[in-house]
Amino acid sequence: MNALRRYVAIVDTVNYGLGRVIMFGIFALMAVLAWSTVSKAVFTPSLWTLEMAQFVMVGYFMLGGPYSIQMGSNVRMDLFYGDFSPRKKAWFDSFTVLFLVVYLGILLWGGIESTQYAFQYGGERSASAWRPYMWPIKVVMCIGITLMLLQALSELAKDIIFLKTGERPQGRADKEASDAV
Neighbour count for residue 27 (Cβ, 10 Å): 10
Tens-digit pLDDT profile for residues 80-109: 888 889 999 999 999 999 999 999 999 999
pLDDT at 129: 84
Task: Provide the 3-class DSSP secondary structure of residue 128.
Answer: coil
pLDDT at 179: 58
In the predicted model, what is the mean pLDDT of residues 119-135?
87
Report the alpha-carbon distance of residue 90 to residue 111 in Å, rounded. Answer: 30
pLDDT at 155: 94
Task: Provide the 3-class DSSP secondary structure of residue 154.
Answer: helix
pTM attached to this predicted model: 0.86
Report the alpha-carbon distance of residue 92 to residue 59 in Å, rounded. Answer: 30
pLDDT tier at 113 (50, 70, 90 boundaries)? very high
Tens-digit pLDDT profile for residues 19-38: 999 999 999 999 999 999 99
